[in-house]
């Protein structure tokens, strides 16, 4: 079974429909690539999927090890290169609302760095992480 159906809406915009749930995502080309920038661009979705995957697998590890991740948030900055146009780097900052033992930090950080999306990206793509823990 397919994961999604993607429809071109014109004017460099698409609608992706998740087959199982019916949820939709609209994409738009960014202004620096002839678009309006009124929605996530496809490369924005890659960077967003990257961090969402990290947080998801960290949540799985947290459940396994009884670690409370409530309040965790993250930001991602995408760096683009040209010739060919591509994502050259992703800068991720994770902000934890709680303090953790050194052991728990090792579990969380190793898990974040080995999420399936991170491992699927080209090895030349720079993955820069910073972990900020509550004091």
27 and 84, same domain (yes or no): no
19 and 73, same domain (yes or no): no
Q: Is the pLDDT of residue 135 over 90?
A: no
Q: Which residue range forms the structural domain that includes residue 21? A: 4-33
Structure tokens at 77: 């900055």
Q: How confident is the prediction for the chain on average, in pLDDT?
A: 96
Report the CATH number at residue 63: 3.30.300.20
- pLDDT tens digits for range 67-115: 999 999 999 999 999 999 999 999 999 999 999 999 999 999 999 999 9
Q: pLDDT value at position 127?
A: 97
Q: Is the pLDDT of residue 124 over 90?
A: yes
76 and 123, same domain (yes or no): yes
Cα separation, 128 vs 45, whole angstroms: 17
Res. 40 pLDDT band, cuts 50 70 90: very high
Cα separation, 88 vs 23, whole angstroms: 29
- pLDDT over 90 percentage in the chain: 98
Instruction: Provide the domain count of the chain.
Output: 2
Cα separation, 36 vs 33, whole angstroms: 9
């Amino acid at each position: 079974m397919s994961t999604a159906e993607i429809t071109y809406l014109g004017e460099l915009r698409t609608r992706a429909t998740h087959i199982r749930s019916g949820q939709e995502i609209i994409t738009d080309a960014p202004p620096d690539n002839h678009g309006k920038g009124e929605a996530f661009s496809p490369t924005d979705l890659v960077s967003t999927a990257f961090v969402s995957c990290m947080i998801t697998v960290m949540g799985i590890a947290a459940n396994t090890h009884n670690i409370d991740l409530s309040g965790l948030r993250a930001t991602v900055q995408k760096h683009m290169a040209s010739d060919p146009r591509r994502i050259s780097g992703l800068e991720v900052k994770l902000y934890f609302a709680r303090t953790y033992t050194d052991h728990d930090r090792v579990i969380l950080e190793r898990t974040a760095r080995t999420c399936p999306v991170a491992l699927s990206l080209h090895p030349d793509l720079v993955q820069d992480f910073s972990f900020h823990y509550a004091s």
